[in-house]
Amino acid sequence: MKPGLISSRFTVHGSRANGVSALNICPCCGASGEGGFGEGCAACGARAVGPPLARPERVLPGYGHALAISAAGLLMALALAGSTAGALLQFDEFALDAKTLLRAAETAAWRLKWTALPAGFLLSAACLWLQARMRRDPGRFVGHAQARAGVALTFAVSLLLPSLIGVTVPERLRRRELARRSAENALLYETDLALARYRKRFGTYPAALTDLRRLEDPDGSIARLLGRVAPGEYKPETDLASLTPARGKSRGKRRVSAVRASAVDAPDAGLVLTNYALALPGRDLVLGTPDDLYIRDGRILDVAPTTAASAGAVIAASPTPALRRAN
């Protein structure tokens, strides 16, 4: 066919003479006109070369829509079934009872939350659109029953996935909270271990957390720990009754302050810090709020420790600047 000529094969809805389309639309460039195109298209210059082809006596109905809808539903079902089988095989004990299958389905739905879940909603919308086209012209399509089954299967899987995910949300939130609390406890226990190392090395708790730098730190763990607990509030304590012998019947306690360490790394006058309390900021990173973390003498507490909780213990004052420089 020469350029600029309209073949009668390309005229649509044509039944008039000279290949003029009933819609008055040029099949080459899509331009529309008030009259016919027998003299050629004013936009592109193409003209008809013959009458349009006659419509076939029998037009076979299409099955593509029904096939696409059925494939979408089958794909969603196979994705959920395959993921469920994979989760079932990863369990410690293989069983096919209802409880185990439900657990496997919940695990599979959680794994598919970023893939099959959004894909399910998109496929459901596409299947509805294809089925609507089939309903508007039922004579042009076959497989209406299969299309309805595919739409139902796609919707069932698309609704089952968020249901299984929603069932697991409370338990997953609880486990996340346990994991967060375990991480916080690990930090507290790590601090207690460093303080215990200091006490074993020097015979007393440090007067300030910065004194932990006096410990050997070949792997840098002490430096990292100090960076994490720096915003905390550390209060060392001492029990005078355990340090000096009792004189007569006097059992009274007096407030003491931290003293400067001697050259042999032992406190002057036999003063030894035997207890400590540490408060660290919680998730809000602000000290003095309800989510703060507390540990006292290796025990993690839910509330802020008080001096009365430790009988006979008195809180030592913060070390002087001279003591900080000496350490």
Domain boundaries, the chain: 1-55, 64-177, 203-326
pLDDT per residue over 246-273, tens digit each? 444 444 444 444 433 333 344 444 578 8
User: What is the structure's pLDDT at 162?
Assistant: 92
Whole-angstrom distance between the N-terminal and C-terminal Cα of the chain? Answer: 97
pLDDT under 70: residue ranges of the chain: 1-24, 33-39, 52, 239-270, 306-327
- pLDDT score at 38: 63
Note the pLDDT of residue 58: 79
Give 265's strand partners.
Answer: none
Paired sense of beta strands 47-48 and 5-6, if any: parallel
Token output for 19: 């290949």
pLDDT of residue 9: 39
Q: What is the pLDDT of residue 31?
A: 75
pLDDT at residue 27, rounded to an integer: 72
Cα–Cα distance between 302 and 232 in angstroms, integer?
Answer: 16
Query: Who's near 47: CB < 8 A, 6+ residues apart?
Result: 4, 5, 6, 37, 38, 39, 40, 41
Exposure b/e, 104-138, CB count within 10 A at least 16 = b = bbbbbbbebeeebbebbeebbeebeebbeebeeee
pLDDT computed for residue 41 by the predictor:
78
pTM: 0.55
